[in-house]
Amino acid sequence: MLGKLKLTHLVYLLLSLCAMASFEAFAHGVDDSTRNFLENNTGIQIIPFLYIGAKHMVTGYDHLLFLVGVLFFLRNSKDVLLYVSMFTIGHSLTLMTGVLANIQVNAYLIDAIIGLSVVYKGFDNLGGFTHFFGKQPAPKKAVLIFGLFHGFGLATKIQEFHLPEDGLALNLLSFNIGVEIGQFMALIFILLLINFWRQFESFDRFSAATNTALMSGGFMLVGMQLTGYFVS
């Protein structure tokens, strides 16, 4: 019993840390060394952009919270691969297109939609759509669509630094590959944690509370981004 209690507390602690850390670093937070590199970058820089992409995904708590929601009830490895692939296709497409075509979107509004994606997935996992509306949105299409918005969120971060055209396509591709590497690393950790937790009765008992916490974190992210939009 004590072990189960400690495990439950650990899961809640990790979710809380993700939510709180995202408020500080989420939308426009870039550390000084990364900012300095991007602002002074010239030419093709494959390795640095790989690193920055991976780092952004691993510390991009908005993306991680969404992935936690997507993976929470998936038990089949084929389903995990399919949903992750849909998300990857979505955010890769808009990341590359958004920057190369210079599609300008408001970063605060995009980040608010990303927060809503977390709310959506928590609500979906709770069976909210079926209970209140009698029908669940197509989950694969929803993951793909929200993946598109997550990609625009990544694009807005890159666009802030007005990268030079010289080597932009290759640098951007390197950043995107880095994002996938970071996502893969995060997925391993998330899947190990969830699969370990599934061995305990507390998983089913506290799944509703966990997804409610996801929704709460998503609503807080939305509130912060909308506040930033109206006061900026």
CB-count burial class (<10 Å; 0-12, 13-18, 19+) for 62: buried
Q: What is residue 147's predicted lDDT score, i.e. its pLDDT?
A: 97
Q: What is residue 36's predicted lDDT score, i.e. its pLDDT?
A: 80
pLDDT (tens digit per residue) in 72-97: 999 899 999 999 999 999 999 999 99
Q: How many CB atoms lie within 10 A of CB 84?
A: 21
Q: What is residue 12's predicted lDDT score, i.e. its pLDDT?
A: 52
Would you say 158 and 172 are in contact if contact means Cβ atoms under 8 Å apart? yes
pLDDT (tens digit per residue) in 43-54: 899 999 999 999
pLDDT-flagged residues of the chain (< 50): 1-8, 13, 17-28
Question: Which pTM was predicted?
Answer: 0.85
Lookup: tokens for 121:
């997935």
Q: What is residue 204's predicted lDDT score, i.e. its pLDDT?
A: 85
Q: What is residue 29's predicted lDDT score, i.e. its pLDDT?
A: 55
Instruction: Give Cα 129 to chain centroid, integer Å.
Output: 22
Contacts of 220 (CB under 8 A, 6+ apart): 19, 23, 115
Q: Give per-residue burial for 45-60: e unless 16+ CB within 10 Å, then b.
A: beebbbbbbbbbbbbb
